Structure 1
Amino acid sequence: MLANVILGVLGLFTLWFVIVWVKGIKEEKAGAPTPHLLAVGFVTNFFDTLGIGSFAPTTAWFKGAKLVQDRIIPGTLNVGHTLPVVVMAFIFIQRVEVEPLTLSLMLIAAVAGAFLGADIVSGLPERKVQLGMGIALLVTVGFMLLGMLDLMPVGGEAVGLTGAKLVIAVVVNFILGALMTLGIGLYAPAMALVYALGMSPLVAFPIMMGSCAYLMPAASVKFVKNKAFDMKAALGLAIGGVPAVFVAAYLVTSLPMDVLRWLVVAVIIYTAVTMLRSAAKSAEAEAK
């Protein structure tokens, strides 16, 4: 019952986002995305569905191939990946039981954080975006490495929280929602939060997928209205990404995931260093 209510509200959120985005597409008269951008959308969302995450790999691809200006990468990530993430939520969120109050409050907190964060990030100058994303990528790698090296808490059996633990979960998810608008993927830190609070590892999936699916339409509406994203790149992520979710969810049975995760870590570290070097160069140029 709860899952149906959550998905029904998510459907309304997504409809709101689609209406705003379609209006923006008509106003900008954007052309079709290139095959390269469609490939970015397909590949990153394919691996996102398998649990690797999409924000950091997409940032690395955009930066390495010089497809999107650094300043508007956060907005492009949020707008472009919204529809694929919503599809993931509809596929997976009904499979795991979570205590209703815990899930509802954490979803609301994530949306509130993203709604606030999107306005702030939309107005940041390029140097601050480069610096923020460089740090964000390193944070993401840190969480990925903790999980890959089995250094994160192992979790417990709880499917819900009360008292101080519930307050901590809500506050932290608010912060994670705000940080996601800067390009920090929510999956890894949300999983660490769930484990640390003694909840069942399975509970991480509806919480992190639901949080992303709820907050991204809210944040993306802000990015669209502020025109702080790349239209063609976002369209490429969405159009290429939605079918990739179905392929990964229903057709893929086995992949060398450990090798792929280490490869992604290496690429993200390289991109983080590149982003921080760009920020340093921007600071030097401003000082002259």
Structure 2
Amino acid sequence: MVNIVRGLFVAFVAVFGIIFGKDYSKAAKEGNIEEQSFAKAGFTGFFTDFFDTLGIGSFAPTVAISKMLKLNISDKHMPGTLNVAHTIPVVVEALIFTTVIKVEPLTLTTLIAAAVIGSYIGAGIISNMDERKIQLVMGLALAATAVLMFLSHPKIDLMPGGGTATGLAGGKLIAGIVGNFILGALMTAGIGLYAPCMAMVYFLGMSPDVAFPIMMGSCAMLMPVASAKFIKEGAYARKASLAIAVCGVVGVLIAAYLVKSLPMDILKVLVILVIAYTSYTMLKSATKKQNIENK
């Protein structure tokens, strides 16, 4: 069953690649490619997907770095860009981690399926939201992500749960399916699935290691589906997405096969601070727009 899932990863990303390639080629011929730095976006992709492979997540750090480097990705196009840009690197991660970490097949497939369905529903809603609402949703979600990462940090360790199980059954399986459905929908708003999925898996009594194939597999299946919708709506930054995707794959491979040890506790603290700051800036922008509209 797991081999079938891996086959679906490849099939989904192949279809996504065709859709992305056609849209990029058409936009290039029409002169609709954005004026963005390929080098800066490439660095962003390498850095974020490198640490994504280690479990930190790529969405929130990408938002933060793109703001710092002034990549000129509009907040309205940010959710679509995050999904399109990180689709291929995440599929590579999923192929690696579903091979090296064992998960009970029924748990893996049902949680992944739930996330895919959630993403399909969510993408249609998010792609048509105005910029202020997106800023508000992303700002609140980033704040929640920062809190979850803080509570699950090894030095804090206030997250309930934990265990050694590699699968779920009964009520816990249903809870996991519902939870991943919601997380899949939120992914389309630019809200990373990793931190909340890791927290959910841990809370349901599973081994923390099992979170990797579940969260990466979920993203590998849902992101091509959600991204196809964003591409159809033209709700993403094409040039930045291409650069992040290409360099992100390199970051994934280096992190997965060459890196043996990093001061992850310190890095997670830095990521939490960056995410919290980005949340603040998003909410500040949304509030400012609201005040202007009310005048």
| Structures share fold, TM-score greater than 0.5 | yes
Partner SS state of residue 4, structure 2:
helix
Unaligned runs of 5+ in 2: none
1:105 and 2:110 aligned: yes
Instruction: State the match for 1:187 in structure 2.
Output: 194
Which deviates more from structure 2 when the two are superposed, residues 199-208 or residues 276-285?
Answer: 199-208
Q: Tell me the equivalent position of 1:258.
A: 265
Give the secondary-structure state (helix, strand or coil) at the position aligned to 2:157: coil
Tell me if the contact between 2:123 and 2:185 (Cα under 8 Å) persists in the aligned partners.
yes
TM-score, scaled relative to structure 1? 0.96
What TM-score do you get using the length of structure 2 for normalisation?
A: 0.94
Q: Mapping of 1:62-211 within 5 angstroms?
A: 62-67=66-71, 68-148=73-153, 149-211=156-218
Sequence identity, in percent? Answer: 55
Give how far 1:102 is off.
1.5
Query: In the alignment, is the contact (CA less than 8 A) between 1:64 and 1:271 conserved in 2?
Result: no
- After superposing on structure 2, the runs of 4+ consecutive aligned residues of structure 1 that deviate more than 4 Å are none
Looking at structure 2, the residues matched to 193 and 268 of structure 1 have their Cα atoms a distance apart, in angstroms, of: 20
Look up the match of 1:40. Answer: 44
Deviations 1:51-106 (A, max 9, x none): 11111110111223332111111110000001001111111111222222221111
The residue that corresponds to 1:53 in the other structure is 57
Superposed displacement of residue 160, structure 1:
1.9
The answer for unaligned runs of 5 or more in structure 1 is none
Q: Could you tell me how far 1:153 is from its partner in structure 2?
A: 2.8
Residue 274 of structure 1: SS of its match in structure 2? helix
Residues 135 and 283, structure 2, Cα contact 8 Å, conserved in 1: yes
Instruction: Report if the CA contact (8 A) 2:83-2:226 is conserved.
Output: yes
* Counterpart Cα distance in 2 of 1:96 and 1:42: 24
Kindly report the root-mean-square deviation, in angstroms, between the aligned alpha carbons of the 2 structures.
1.4
Q: Distance in 1 between matches of 2:68 and 2:130?
A: 21
Shift of 1:255: 2.0
Q: CA offset at residue 139 of structure 1?
A: 1.0
Q: Is the 8 A contact 2:55 2:212 kept in 1?
A: no
Give per-residue Cα distances to partners, 1:219-255, cap 9 Å, x unaligned: 1001101111111111111011011111111111222
